[in-house]
Amino acid sequence: MFFFRKHIINSALIGAFVLLINFAFSQKVTINGYIEDSESGEKLIGATVFDAKTLLGTTTNVYGFYSLTLPADSIIFTASFVGFKPIVFKLDGKKDTTINVSLSSSLDLQEVEIIASQSENIEERTQMSTIEIPMRQIEKLPALMGEIDVLKAIQLLPGVQSGGEGTSGFYVRGGGPDQNLILLDGVPVYNASHLFGFFSVFNSDAINSVTLVKGGFPARYGGRLSSVLDIRMKEGNSKKIVGSASVGLISSKLRLEGPIFKDKTSFIVSGRRTYIDAIAKPFIKAYNDREKGKEGYENREENTFDAGYYFYDLNAKVNHKFNDKHRLFLSAYLGNDKAYITDNSNYSLDNDPNQYRDNIESSLKWGNITTALRWNSIINKKLFANTTFTYSQYKFNVGLNFESFRNDTSTSAFGFEYLSGIYDVGGKVDFDYLPNPNHYVKFGLGETYHTFTPGVQTIQMTDGSTSVIDTSVGSSKIYPHEFYAYLEDDIKIGALIKVNPGVHFSGFYVNEKLYKSLQPRLSANYMFRENWSFKASLATMTQYIHLLTNGTVGLPTDLWVPVTDSIPPMQSVQYAAGLTHTFRDKYEISIEGYYKTMKNVIEYKEGASFFDSNEEWDQKVEVGNGWSYGGELFIQRKMGKLTGWFGYTLSWTNRRFDNLNFGETFPYKYDRRHDISVAFSYDIKENISLGITWVYGTGNAISLPIGSYQGFGDNFNPYDVGKGDDFRGLSFGGYGINYYESRNSWRMPSYHRLDIGANFTKEKTYWTRTWTFGFYNVYNRQNPFFVDLGYNDQGDRALMQTSLFPIIPSFAYKVDF
């Protein structure tokens, strides 16, 4: 054993020495630049650049930048990307050069297959537990009500589970919904749900790429325990004006992008709005007409009842290229949901000459705003910098106003408003340093100034012109600072081994207390034979903010709160290992096992509810620990007529809290033993594609009583007062008590569903039109939304299941111009 250890140390020292000598004395040249789509000017993320002679290469970063340092010799420069024609040319390789490459998309199948072999395969990447889904693939999959949804596609990946029927919340490797860092152009999005969680806020028309990291986190990521979902918006076509317009079952979309100054400045604007409120208008009018003169309302002379719901969102981005070294981007997202009810009525009373009017207005509003101002600069051939200033806001507001008038004079008024939210202002700078093909160093730092508004209620009441109540109650605002710094290096050791060691340091300053954490990260990849590799990783993470949520649906009432004296930061350690393999150049297979521990996770106290408003939030939760382990199989085909994936997850997730379930371990609500997802699209012809998804999941764990018995009774015995002041005793015969075997010991029925969709595209003179038809839940499976004890049709006590979505047809019409 000692011999081997000594041998390894000696080999490493010799290797390092040789490398040092190599760098010190050999002549090097650096080639750098951007790789973009020739048609749109969009930067290509993860494109491969290499020298076909030495086979030394690199990939573009998330901004499409690459830098490759090679021995000064003739170079066969090759740039390629999946679905694009490669570019190959010869360079004399005697001096540093900037080469910006435009790749043309290829529809020729043979060419695509050739290109694939030249791209970086899954087994060549150091990073594990990471999945990139091409937007083109997501767009071909069937969707609920025809709304293409990035988060719904993410839920189809192994290791990721959905919260409930139709919802866009997701749970990664046993973590809670608050443990996912959702980034839109690098800015955190705090509530990614529209329509009470049934749709996500991400408009597919404006999105360029989607990457999910479930484990083996590189040091540049931090702040959440379970996953990072990195969504990048399109930059806007820099060559020509293009756009699209679509009409669907519940919403319409419009996208416009193009150059402001050709090849210098481009923009993209994309908007979406639902029209559920417009569809409901005729029904509401019919209701108002029916109510007129109804028994009990004979004196009502006019009544205007209105109710509705809508959401809209807007993505916009402008980018400007100052020169080859400096580019500036400004991107923004604005989205709002609003549900409202108004009821205004004029009436008179018998034998009363006065005219009366009552106005009631209530509304529920929530929305996000995110903004990023980004500056990409090439400091030198090997050093790339990205400086970003961010603003993120999530606001939730409930309003209720009631006012009564007599002869147009206010007689009484009542107003209630509830406001909660989170506001972030941040800045960060990230550097990519590529000294040679064997090192890819990333480092950076950032700071975010949070403002938490954990819920303020304002009540105003007037009696005529006199103010009776005018008060605000609730938790006061909290202003923490969160900061971090990181350093990582993707190192190639010989031809077979890659490692990515790193460290992430973070701190959180709140209420005059500083929390800090040093988080080591390590990923390693050993390519033990051609097209095969063994990967392993270790990642420690710390999270300083918690989400108070009821957990099942993405309600807008979900509340972000910072750590406190009683609620410490969450921490996790995740170990993962697995095999990856590419075969026939089309299929990628990965098998991974993981074990994750989570410290200081929160759960509601037994009996506590999200809707308790009379307690401070940190009094309603318990702090405990969790752990999750399992295995994931992922088979993906990225090219050809048939594309898509098959995923299977076998997992166990548990929680243990001193004050829950009598201190006993219990399964997490989303502990799911088996989870299967199949998502494929098939191009029948050049203009017709079919999409199909099938999901299966073990039922969610819930608490159900299995028996009942008589309780003790009241603490006070009102009948035992014969002793005067010395009355004694407790009474028997109290409430019936429900008996639960254990917390979350019962399983809902399993969930499974088949969706299908088809796209029919046709080229017209000035545009391309696409009809999309689909069916959600094709075989009309009654999947459980919730299960509760109730009464059946015969009036007997029974276990009743409520389902949400039956088979739902959908259609959409889209025009690309």
Partner 1 sequence: MERILYILLMLILFSCQKELEFEGGDDTSRIVLNCVLESGEIIEVNLSNSKNILQEPSQYDSIVDATITIKNLAAGTSELMTHSYNGIYFSSTVPQDGEAYRIIAEHNDLDSVSGNVTIPIAANINALYEQTIVHVGETYQDIIVEFTDDLNSDNYYEVNLTGKVETVYSDTLGNVLWTQNDYIPVPFQILDQGLKSDFYGTQLFLADDEILSSSISVPCSIDLDLIQGYSGSDLLFINDTLSYEVLYDVKYTKIIAELKSISKAYHNYFVSVQAQIEASGKFSAEAVNVYSNMSNGFGVFGAYSSARDSVEINR
Cross-strand partners of 521:
502, 539
Verify binding: residue 511, partner 1, rule CB under 8 A.
no
**260 neighbors 269 (Cβ within 8 angstroms):** no
Q: Which stretch binds partner 1 (CB under 8 A): 3-11, 13-21, 286-294, 699-707?
A: 699-707
- Least distance (Å) between residue 745 CB and partner 1: 8
Which range in 164-172, 374-382, 441-449, 780-788 contacts partner 1 by CB under 8 A? 780-788
Residues 424-483 that bind partner 1 (CB under 8 A): 471, 473
193-194 and 187-188 strand pairing: unpaired
* Residue 790, SS3 per DSSP: strand
Which of 713, 762, 763, 817 lies at the binding interface for partner 1 (CB under 8 A)? 713
User: What pairing do the DSSP bridges indicate for beta strands 242-248 and 251-261?
Assistant: antiparallel
Contact 248, 770 (CB under 8 A): no
Least gap, CB of 311 to partner 1 (angstroms): 23
Position 364: which residue type? L
For residue 154, which amino acid is it? Answer: I
Which DSSP state fits 205?
G
Q: In the set 512, 739, 765, 766, which binds partner 1 (CB under 8 A)?
A: 739
Q: Rank residues 321 and 655 by Cβ distance to partner 1 and give the closer one.
A: 655
Place of tokens 């077979």: 496
Q: Is residue 663 involved in binding partner 1 (CB under 8 A)?
A: no
Is residue 811 close enough to count as binding partner 1 by CB under 8 A? Answer: no
699 binds partner 1 (CB under 8 A): no
Output the smallest distance, CB 723 to partner 1, in A.
10
Work out how close the CB of 587 gets to partner 1 at its nearest, in angstroms, rounded to a whole number.
37
In 3D space, the residue among 428, 427, 234, 210 whose CA is nearest the CA of residue 318 turns out to be: 234
Alpha-carbon distance of 329 to 202, in angstroms, equals: 19
* 807 lies in the site for partner 1, by CB under 8 A: yes
In Å, what is the CA distance from 698 to each residue of 5, 668, 672? Answer: 46, 13, 5
Shortest distance, position 42 Cβ to partner 1, whole Å: 41
Of the candidates 419, 801, 815, 816, which one interacts with partner 1 according to CB under 8 A? Answer: 801
Tell me how far apart the alpha carbons of residues 156 and 160 are, in angstroms, rounded to a whole number.
Answer: 7
Which residues lie below 8 Å from residue 3, measured CB to CB, with a gap of 6+?
A: none
- Given the rule CB under 8 A, which of 48-56, 99-107, 625-633, 701-709 is the region that contacts partner 1? 701-709
CB nearer to partner 1: give 8 or 798: 798
To which residue do tokens 């208008």 refer? 281
Smallest CA-to-CA distance from 656 within 629, 622, 630 is with 622
Nearest approach in angstroms of CB 398 to partner 1 is: 16
Q: How far is the CB of 718 from partner 1 (least distance, A)?
A: 7
Residue 300 binds partner 1 (CB under 8 A) = no
Q: Specify the residue for token string 């971090």.
A: 484
x/- letters, 544..583, toward partner 1 (CB under 8 A) = ------x-x-------------------------------
Tell me what percent of the chain is helix, strand and coil, each rounded to the nearest 5: 10, 60, 30
Q: Which residue has the tokens 């209701």?
A: 287
Which one of 11, 710, 763, 771 is in contact with partner 1 (CB under 8 A)? 710
Contact 540, 553 (CB under 8 A): no
Alpha-carbon span 237 to 340, nearest angstrom = 38
Q: Is 603 in the site for partner 1 (CB under 8 A)?
A: yes
693 vs 159: CA distance, rounded Å:
17
Nearer to partner 1, 117 or 710 (CB): 710
Beta carbons of 255 and 272 less than 8 angstroms apart: no
Q: Kindly tell me which of 282 and 607 has the beta carbon lying closer to partner 1.
A: 607
* Torsion over CA: 320, 323, 325, 326 (sign): negative
Angstrom CA distances, 209 to 102, 124, 143, 206, 780, stand at: 18, 20, 18, 10, 32
Residue 721 contacts partner 1 per CB under 8 A: yes
Alpha carbon dihedral 167, 173, 174, 176, in 10-degree steps, equals: -50
SS3 of 3-56: the string is HHHHHHHHHHHHHHHHHHHHHHHCCEEEEEEEEEECCCCCECCCCEEEECCCCC
Does 719 bind partner 1 (CB under 8 A)? Our answer is no
The CB-side HSE value for 183 (13 A sphere, CA atoms) comes to: 21
Least distance (Å) between residue 418 CB and partner 1: 17
* Minimum gap (Å) between residue 807 Cβ and partner 1: 5
Rule CB under 8 A: say whether 604 interacts with partner 1. Answer: yes
Task: Return the structure tokens found at 618.
Answer: 């940190």
Q: Give whichever of 709 and 766 is closer to partner 1, judged by the CB atom.
A: 709
Binding residue for partner 1 (CB under 8 A) from 17, 727, 771, 817? Answer: 727
Residue 660 DSSP code? S
What backbone phi and psi angles, to 5 degrees, belong to 581?
-155, 140
**2 conformational bin, left if phi > 0, alpha if psi -120 to 50, beta if neither:** alpha
Nearest distance in Å: CB 749, partner 1: 7
Find the part of the chain contacting partner 1 (CB under 8 A) among 95-103, 283-291, 301-309, 710-718: 710-718
715 near partner 1, rule: CB under 8 A = yes
The answer to whether 174 touches 627, Cβ cutoff 8 Å, is yes
Q: Which of 729, 763, 771, 817 binds partner 1 (CB under 8 A)?
A: 729
Q: Can you tell me which of 661, 677, 689, 698 binds partner 1, judged by CB under 8 A?
A: 661
Per residue, what are the HEC states of 501-522?
A: EEEEEEEEEECCEEEEEEEEEE
Q: What single-letter DSSP state applies at residue 744?
A: T
Q: Name the residue nearer to partner 1 (CB basis): 177 or 647.
A: 177
Residue 725 Cβ vs partner 1, minimum distance, rounded to whole Å: 6
Distance (Å, rounded) from C-alpha 681 to C-alpha 772?
Answer: 13
Q: Which is nearer to partner 1, 2 or 739 (CB)?
A: 739
H/E stretch holding 226:
none
Question: Which of 738, 763, 764, 817 touches partner 1 by CB under 8 A?
Answer: 738
Residue 54 is a binding residue for partner 1 (CB under 8 A): no
Q: Which of 322, 741, 771, 817 binds partner 1 (CB under 8 A)?
A: 741
> Does 802 participate in binding partner 1 (rule CB under 8 A)?
yes
The site string for partner 1 over 605-644 (x = CB under 8 A, - otherwise) reads xxxxxxxx---x----------------------------
**Binding flag, residue 709, partner 1 (CB under 8 A):** yes
Q: Which stretch binds partner 1 (CB under 8 A): 70-78, 386-394, 512-520, 802-810?
A: 802-810
Between 224 and 655, name the residue whose CB sits nearer to partner 1: 655
Count of residues in contact with partner 1, rule CB under 8 A: 69
Residue 92 touches partner 1, criterion: CB under 8 A? no
In whole angstroms, the minimum distance from the beta carbon of 794 to partner 1 comes to 9
User: Is residue 180 classed exposed, middle or buried when 0-12, 13-18 and 19+ CB atoms within 10 A define those classes?
Assistant: buried
| CA pair distance 500, 489, nearest whole angstrom | 5
For partner 1, the closer of residues 735 and 771 by Cβ is: 735
The stretch near partner 1 (CB under 8 A) out of 172-180, 244-252, 400-408, 729-737 is 729-737
* Distance of closest approach, residue 327 Cβ to partner 1, in angstroms: 48
Q: Which stretch binds partner 1 (CB under 8 A): 66-74, 192-200, 478-486, 803-811?
A: 803-811
Which residues are near partner 1 by CB under 8 A? 471, 473, 550, 552, 603-612, 616, 661-662, 703-713, 715-716, 718, 721, 725, 727-730, 732-743, 745-746, 749, 780, 782, 787, 789, 792, 796-803, 805-807, 809
